[in-house]
Amino acid sequence: MPQSPTKAVSGWIKISPDHWRSVLRCWLDTRKRLWREFGIPITEKLHTTEKLHTTAYVNGRGRISKSISGRHVHDGHEYWKDFGREVAHERLEALRCAEGLSLGAICRRRKPGNLAQIKRELYAELATRVEHELLEFDSLAMIFMDGDGADGSCRTARRGLALAERRVIEDAIHIESAGSQLIQMADLVAWCANTTIDRHEKNVFAAEWSNDHLSERDPNREPKEI
Same-domain status, 218 and 126: yes
Q: Are 84 and 124 contained in the same domain?
A: no
Number of domains the chain contains: 2
Is the domain of 79 the same as that of 159?
Answer: no
- Provide the residue type at 69 as one letter: S
Domain-located, residue 70: yes
If residue 90 lies in a helix (H) or strand (E), which one and from where to where? helix 80-97
Give the C-alpha distances (Å, rounded to integers) separating 159 from 156, 163, 173.
5, 8, 15
Stated as kind and residue range, the H or E segment containing 77 is strand 77-78
Residue 183: beta bridge partners? none
Residue after which a domain boundary falls, among 96, 119, 151: 96
pLDDT (tens digit per residue) in 72-109: 788 778 787 888 888 899 999 999 999 999 999 988 88
Comparison of pLDDT for 69 and 96, the residue scoring more: 96
Residue 214 and residue 125 in one domain? yes
Crossing angle, helix 181-197 and helix 80-97, to 10 degrees? 110
0.85 surpassed by pTM? yes
Of 77, 96, 115, at which residue does a domain stop?
96
In this predicted structure, which of 118-132, 150-164, 208-222 has the lowest mean pLDDT? Answer: 150-164
The domain boundary, picked from 62, 96, 130, lies at 96
Per-residue pLDDT tens digits for 40-59: 888 877 766 554 334 477 77
The answer, yes or no, to whether residue 165 has pLDDT greater than 60, is yes
**Other residues' Cβ atoms within 10 Å of the Cβ of residue 225:** 11
Angle between helices 80-97 and 20-38 (to 10 degrees): 150
pLDDT at 153: 67
Structural domain span for residue 171? 6-16+103-225
Judge if 35 and 131 occupy the same domain. Answer: no
